[in-house]
Structures are given as C-alpha cells and as structure tokens.
Structure 1
Amino acid sequence: MKSLCFVHQSKAQLPELQAYTDYFRPRYHVEVSNPAADLSGYDIVWFFMGFSRYQPQPGQFIVHEYASLSTPPLARVKDLIKRQLNATPDLRVFQNKTQSRLMRFNDAVPERFRDMGIAGHFKQQLDAGKKCDLIYAGSMDKSRRLEHALDVVLKLRPHTSIWLVGQPSVYLQQRYQRYANVRFMGPVPNSQIPALLNQARFGLNYLPDVYPYHFQTSTKLLEYAACGLPVIGNKNSWVTDFLNQHPLQYHDLQQLTAWPQPQAADISDQSRQAWRWQQRIADAGFETILPG
C-alpha cells in the first residue's frame, strides 16, 4: 500500500483534513505532518498552500492544494508571489475554476476541483430549544470585517442576543465588551457546532464582497442551511447563485428594516448529501490521477 502524507502548516482551519484522511485511508497509508518534518519517505505528499519550495524525491507525487486564495490585505500581491515562487507540483487542487483562472499558473500541470463541504452531523434538530437570536460560526480575523454586520444588527435591534463561535479577535472583543447580549463562545469542536446552530433563530453569514471572498463557497452558509436555519447576511455573486438553487430564507443586511420572523429552511436530503465532504472529495475525481 502506497503512503500519502498531508502537510499542514497549522495556520488555517482545515475541516477537510479529517475528511481526506477518512476518504483515502482504505487506499493508502495516510499520515498528517508539518513542513519541517522529513517527507522523503512518502509516495504522495499533499501540501495545503501556502508557500512551498519542497524538492521531491525521485518518484514522489506532489500535490498543491489551494483551498482558498490569499486573503486581505494585499491578497493579489500574495497570490502573485505564490505563483512565481512555489515549486511545480504534479497536481494542483482548487475549490473552483475561478480560483484556477485567477492564479494564472499557465502551465501543463493537471488540475482537480474540490468544493467546500460539511460533515454529516450538520442536520436539523427539531426538538432543540431556541436560546439566542443570531449565531455566527466561523473565522473572526480582521479581514472578515465582521463588525460591519454586527453594527447593523445592533443598531436595528440593540437587545439581540448574539453568539459568536470561533477564535475571537481582540478588536472584536473590545468593540462589543459593553454588550451583555453579545457572547463570545470561543473555539468549539466541529462536532458540537450543530447543537449550537440548532439553538439559534438565525444564522449570520457575512463575508466582505471583495477578492477572494465573493466567489468562494461560504462553508458556514452550507452548515446553517443543513441545520434548517434561516439566515441574515450580505450578498455576493456566490451567495446569489446559491440562493437561486436552494430555497432558503435569507435576509439581506443592507435591506433589513425590521426584525424578521424565522422560517426553517427547506433543504432536501439530496442537497445535504451533495454537500458532505465524502461526496465533495469523490466528485473531484482524484482516483483518475493519483498513483495507485
């Protein structure tokens, strides 16, 4: 059995890492390591990019996955540097074709496309009691500009109870420290997030309508929808396309003049299945190119 090593720099959350491990374990001896480790003994080395100048051993198959393009500030400059400095792999993986086009590698390296997914435990719990008005589960780094959404909500309805799930930024904690109704829940294991989502009346989906957020999948929106949550948030091109395909109560922050009445999302089991990590990985077709 050939060996496969996923190389993770621990700088970003990678929910797909466990999904990949589970998916490939029947076919390969799978390990997870870091860039400083000795990678010379593996048949396949799969990097989550980042930067990488790793020079492979003879016969090694190298994968570069760009799960997301660089984020602000200077996102496009950082992507340019990656394009010029990163070593050439045997396979590149992108979330979608738009990512690939914008990275502009313009070489003959094969590509595969693997969309963002969710774990199977994201589902609606009809017996869950509602304990907060609005929940946000995701990144809270400064580039996400989450305060733009929170300020709109609190201006419209100052007493709204809000749960923020994830690693909080200091600036957000300082900005909302006088609001007793804004609760920072801290990082929560992925398996426990659905229970929190099901206790909320609405999910908050907010991403700045700037490069690269406006064409990348909002994983949190998939999670909210799978749990039956109606959503308050902003719109970008990806969100608009998603709403055209899926029946979901989605209230645009910029047009919100009164607090809405929640209506559970009517998402089909077929859609939930299509969003699951194992299906997303299967849809990418890695088996057609990875060494057997």
Structure 2
Amino acid sequence: MKSLCFVHQSKAQLPELQAYAEYFRHKYQVVINTPDANLQGYDIVWFFMGYFHYKPQPHQFIVHEYASLSTPPFARFKDQLKQMLNIRPHLRVFQNPRQSDLLQFNDDVPVRYRDMGLSGHFTTQLYTDKKCDLIYVGSMNKSRQLERAIDTVLKLRPHASMWLVGQPVAYLQRRYQHHANIRFIGAVPNSQIPQLLNQARFGLNYVPDVYPYNFQTSTKMLEYVACGLPVIGNRTAWVNSFLTNHKLQYHDINQLKIWPTPGAVTVASEVLQSWSWQQRIADAGFETILP
C-alpha cells in the first residue's frame, strides 16, 4: 500500500484534513505531518500551501493544495510570491476555477477543484432551546472586518445577544469588553459547533466584499444552513450565486431596518449530501491522477 502524507503548518483550521484521511484510508497509508518532519519516505506528499521549499525525491508525487488564496494585507503580492517561489508539483488543487485563474500558473500541471464541505454532524436539532440571537463561527482576524457587522447589529438591536465562535483577537475583545451581550466562546472542536449553532436564532455570515473573500465559498454559510439557521449577512459575488441556487431566508445586514423574525430553513437531503466532505472529495476526481 502506497503512503500519502498531508503536510500543513497548523496556522489555519483545516476541517478537510480529517475528511481526506477518512476518504483515502482505504487505498493509502495516510499520515498527517508538519513541514519540519522527514518527508522523504512517502510516496505522495500533499502540501497545504503556503510556502514550502521541500526538494522531492525522484519517486515522490507532489500535490500543492491552495485551500485559500492569501489574505490581506498585500494579498495579491503574497500570491505572486507563491507563484514564483514554490516548486512545480505534479498536481495543484484549488477550491474553484477563479482561484486557479488568479494565481496564474502558466504551465501544464494538472488541476483539480475541491470545494468546501461539511462533516455529517452538521444537522438540525429540533426543539433545542435558543440561548442567543446571533452566532458567528470563523476567523476574527482584522482582515475580516467583523466589527463592521457587529456594530451594525448593535445599532439595530443594542441588546442582541451574540456568540462569537473561533480564536478571539485582542482588538475585538477590547472593542466590546463593556458589552455583556457579546460573548467570545473561543475555538471549539468542529464536532461541537452544531450544538452551539442549534442554540442560536440566526447565523451571522459576514465576509468582506474584497479579494479573495468575495468569491471563495463561505463554509460558515453551509454550516448555518445545514443546522436550519436563517442567516443575517452581507452580499458578495459568492453569496449572490449561492442564493440564486438555494432559496433561503437571508437578510442583508446593510438593508435591515427592523430585526427580522427567524423562520425555519430546510434544505433537501440530496443537497446536504452534495455538500458533504466525502462527496466534495469524490467530485474532485483525484483517483484519475494520483498514483
């Protein structure tokens, strides 16, 4: 059995890592490692990029996955560095064709597309007591501009109870330290997120309408919808496309005049199945190229 090693720097949440391990375990000996490990003995080395200066062995098949493009500041410049400095792999993986176009790798390296997905524990728990008005799950770094959404909500509903799930950052904690209705939950295991979502009346999907966020899949949106939450959020190209394909209760945060009444959100089981990690990975067609 050939070996497959996934390599990442532990800087970002990568729920797909466990999904990949489960998907490929029947065919490969799967290992997850950091860049400082000895990688020379593996048959397939799959990097979540980043910058890596690894020199592969002749027998190795190298995969570069760009789970996301670089984030501000200097996002485009950082992406150009990735293009120039990273070695040529045998396969590149992107979330969607737009990502691939923007990185502009002008060579004949094969490409596969693997969209963001969901684990099976993201389901609606009926009759769960609602304990907060609004929940946000995801990154809170400055480039996300989350304070814009929070301030807009507070103007509309000053005492709205908000849970912020993810690694808290100091500037947000300072900004809202006197708001007892805003609670920083902290980072929690992916398996525990649905329990929190099911205690909320709305999900907050705020994604800055700037490169590269505005055309990348909002995983939090999929999570909210899978748990039956109506969503309050802003509009981006991806959101508009998503709402064209899925008729959901989505309230534009920049257009709200009064606090909305939450309603039930239901999605067909076949749609939820198409969002599952296992289906996303299967749809990418990796078996047609991996040794």
Q: Indicate the percent of aligned positions where both proteins have the same amino acid.
A: 70
d(CA) in 1 for partners of 2:168, 2:246: 30
How many residue pairs get aligned? The number is: 291
Does 2:153 correspond to 1:153? yes
d(CA) in 2 for partners of 1:284, 1:161: 40
AA aligned opposite 2:151: D
Matching residue of 1:37 = 37
Matching residue of 1:113 = 113
AA aligned opposite 1:157: R
Q: Per the alignment, in what secondary structure is the counterpart of residue 120 of structure 1?
A: coil
d(CA) in 2 for partners of 1:104, 1:276: 29
- Report deviation, 1:124: 0.7
Kept after mapping to 2: 8 A contact 1:247/1:265: no
AA aligned opposite 1:2: K
- Report deviation, 1:211: 0.2
- Report deviation, 1:89: 0.2
Q: Per the alignment, in what secondary structure is the counterpart of residue 254 of structure 1?
A: coil
Give the TM-score normalised by structure 2. Answer: 0.99
Task: Map 1:97-108 to 2 at 5 A.
Answer: 97-108=97-108
Kept after mapping to 2: 8 A contact 1:247/1:267: no
Matching residue of 1:181 = 181
Task: Map 1:83-232 to 2 at 5 A.
Answer: 83-232=83-232
d(CA) in 1 for partners of 2:222, 2:56: 37
- Report deviation, 1:266: 2.0
- Report deviation, 1:108: 0.5
Q: Per the alignment, in what secondary structure is the counterpart of residue 264 of structure 2?
A: coil
Q: Per the alignment, in what secondary structure is the counterpart of residue 184 of structure 2?
A: strand
The CA deviation string for residues 142-190 of structure 1, in whole angstroms up to 9 with x for no partner, is 1101000000000111000000011111000000000000000011111
Matching residue of 2:289 = 289
* Unaligned runs of at least 5 residues, structure 1: none
AA aligned opposite 1:43: D
- Report deviation, 1:127: 1.7
The CA deviation string for residues 236-273 of structure 1, in whole angstroms up to 9 with x for no partner, is 00000101111210000110110000011121111110
d(CA) in 2 for partners of 1:264, 1:135: 16
The CA deviation string for residues 102-123 of structure 1, in whole angstroms up to 9 with x for no partner, is 0000100000000000101001
Matching residue of 2:273 = 273
d(CA) in 1 for partners of 2:145, 2:71: 12
d(CA) in 1 for partners of 2:107, 2:215: 23
Q: Per the alignment, in what secondary structure is the counterpart of residue 254 of structure 2?
A: helix
* Unaligned runs of at least 5 residues, structure 2: none
d(CA) in 2 for partners of 1:273, 1:78: 35
d(CA) in 1 for partners of 2:176, 2:260: 23
Kept after mapping to 2: 8 A contact 1:202/1:262: yes
Kept after mapping to 2: 8 A contact 1:3/1:42: yes
AA aligned opposite 2:56: P
Does 2:76 correspond to 1:72? no
Q: Which runs of 4+ in 1 moved over 2 A?
A: none
AA aligned opposite 2:19: A
d(CA) in 2 for partners of 1:248, 1:125: 18
